[in-house]
């Protein structure tokens, strides 16, 4: 059993390590270290539910940032905005963590902007849209709206994966992992780096059917 004090100390160290790595150049060594940290600390135990929740979504926010670093969008998608829009649809489980992770960061000289959206059609203006398990009833609407826009869709629910979402967070052995539907991403003309594919739990090649 992890004590409250131990969990707090490890969590604080983990947060500092993540912040340091997120500021480093995107080298294979950095990615390897970051991936290891995400896997090792995602399953941090303890009796403090609020701390576990914060840790989970700090890690998922870091994943979203790194997805943005290692995904290539079509030129016409990039021409629509001078920024990279990372959107959260509906319920926001990050409670400011995503904004903290991407604050003052840029990718290819483009600032990152965290946005909350409430209508499925709003996903059309996003480079990445995250749909939490709390909004699984709206998954198909969001995916349909984003289908022809080269928006990277990310979720955390089995319904999301079944409906053709591109990246789905999963909990395995108390650790946060993710599966990739490469077929769906390629159909949207997105190129996901081999660095991301190499740390995925599973990669599906064929696009999911409705």
Span 118-132, pLDDT tens digits: 999 999 999 999 999
- Going by DSSP bridges, is the β-strand pair 152-155/167-172 parallel, antiparallel, or unpaired? parallel
Question: Radius of gyration over alpha carbons of the chain, in Å?
Answer: 16
pLDDT of residue 25: 55
Query: What's the pLDDT band for 41 if we cut at 50, 70, 90?
Result: very low
Contact 67, 94 (CB under 8 A): no
User: Helix, strand, or coil here: 177?
Assistant: strand
What tens digit of pLDDT does each residue of 50-96 get?
344 457 898 999 999 999 999 999 999 999 889 999 999 999 999 99
pLDDT on residue 117? 97
**Mean pLDDT calculated for residue range 91-103:** 93
Q: Which of 157, 117, 115, 125 lies closest to 140, judged by CA? A: 157
> What does the pLDDT read at residue 1?
42
Whether 47 shows a pLDDT value over 50: the answer reads no
What's the pLDDT at 55?
79
Mean pLDDT over all residues of the chain? 82
With 0-12 CB in 10 A as exposed, 13-18 as middle and 19+ as buried, what is 164?
buried
pLDDT greater than 50 at residue 17: yes
Structure tokens at 142: 């969001």
Reading the block at residue 96, the tokens are 């400011």
The verdict on pTM exceeding 0.85 is no
Q: Residue holding tokens 């340091």?
A: 20
């Amino acid at each position: 059993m992890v004590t409250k004090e131990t969990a707090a100390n490890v969590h604080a160290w983990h947060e500092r390590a993540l912040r340091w790595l997120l500021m480093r150049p995107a080298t294979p060594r950095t990615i390897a270290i970051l991936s290891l940290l995400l896997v090792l600390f995602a399953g941090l135990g303890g009796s403090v539910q609020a701390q576990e929740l914060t840790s989970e979504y700090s890690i998922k926010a870091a994943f979203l940032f790194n997805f943005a670093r290692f995904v290539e969008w079509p030129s016409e998608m990039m021409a629509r905005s001078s920024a990279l829009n990372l959107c959260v649809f509906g319920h926001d489980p990050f409670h400011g963590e995503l904004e903290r992770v991407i604050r003052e960061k840029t990718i290819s000289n483009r600032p990152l902007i965290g946005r909350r959206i409430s209508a499925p059609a709003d996903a059309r203006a996003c480079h990445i849209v995250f749909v939490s398990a709390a909004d699984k009833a709206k998954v198909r609407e969001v995916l349909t709206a984003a289908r022809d826009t080269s928006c990277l869709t990310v979720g955390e629910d089995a319904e999301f994966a079944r409906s053709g979402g591109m990246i789905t967070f999963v909990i395995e052995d108390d650790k946060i992992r993710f599966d990739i539907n490469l077929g769906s991403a390629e159909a949207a003309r997105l190129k996901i780096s081999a660095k991301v594919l190499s740390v995925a739990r599973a990669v599906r090649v064929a696009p999911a059917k409705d």
